[in-house]
Amino acid sequence: MGKGVGKGRSNSSARWLNEHENDPYVQMARKQGYRSRAVYKLKEINEKDKLLRPGQIVVDLGAAPGGWSQLARPLLGPKGRLIALDILPMDPVPDVEFILGDFREGEILQQLEDSVGSHSIDLVLSDMAPNLSGIDVSDQVSSIYLCELALDFAKEHLKPKGMFLTKIFQGEGFDEYLKELRQTFETVTVRKPKASRPRSREVYLLARNFRAV
């Protein structure tokens, strides 16, 4: 029985690796010097929705390996700031301030808040995702929890009319989260970038014009 499980797992791993290696976005990222295929998700959304502009203060949650920060930081210009955070180490990206730690821990959250200081944030990006267990119900709950944390942070630190972009998986809790976003921002748009694999339940929610209280 153990062998069967191991074989199934190795077959699925080999299948994933083969798919990954043949993925056009993986190949394009390598060619263009980006750290991950995820960069093309943000790139498409930014080209459509014009999120990133010179002079902004941006926070990138779940930043490792750094593809989003690579794309975003040059667009902010010399007067902009980008603060990135992840539980995993990330090789330095020029002019990006990186915090290593778990966003759910008070000490790390405080470090992020100290780094932001008294400045209000223009845009919060969240590409956070939990370590997937393969148990759909559990993974969905973990994913929504991270989305809630990111939204709580955005509510605390966004300037009036600020923007929030988060990855979320469609399923239990999605509709409630979408409703909460619509109460907090003037407009909310669902985006499914071409680089998101078609079979994935992953979408991005773009919330604009924060209704600061």
Q: Is 68 annotated as a binding residue?
A: yes
Nearest C-alpha neighbor of 90 from the set 115, 114, 62: 62
Residue closest to 81 by CA, chosen among 57, 52, 51: 57
CB 80 within 8 A of CB 96: no
Which of 167, 179, 192, 194 is flagged as catalytic?
167
Question: What is the arrangement of strands in the sheet containing 202-210, beginning at the earlier edge strand?
Answer: 96-100, 81-86, 57-61, 121-126, 158-169, 202-210, 185-191
Residue 204, φ and ψ in degrees, nearest 5: -120, 140
According to the annotation, is 122 in a ligand binding site?
A: no
Any binding-site annotation on 102?
A: yes
Using only the alpha carbons of the chain, give its radius of gyration: 18
What is the C-alpha to C-alpha distance for residues 195 and 54, in angstroms, rounded to an integer? 25
What residue type is 66 in one-letter code? G
Asked if 167 is an active-site residue, the reply is: yes
Which residues form the catalytic set? 167
**Binding site residues for S-adenosyl-L-methionine, as ranges?**
66, 68, 86, 102, 127
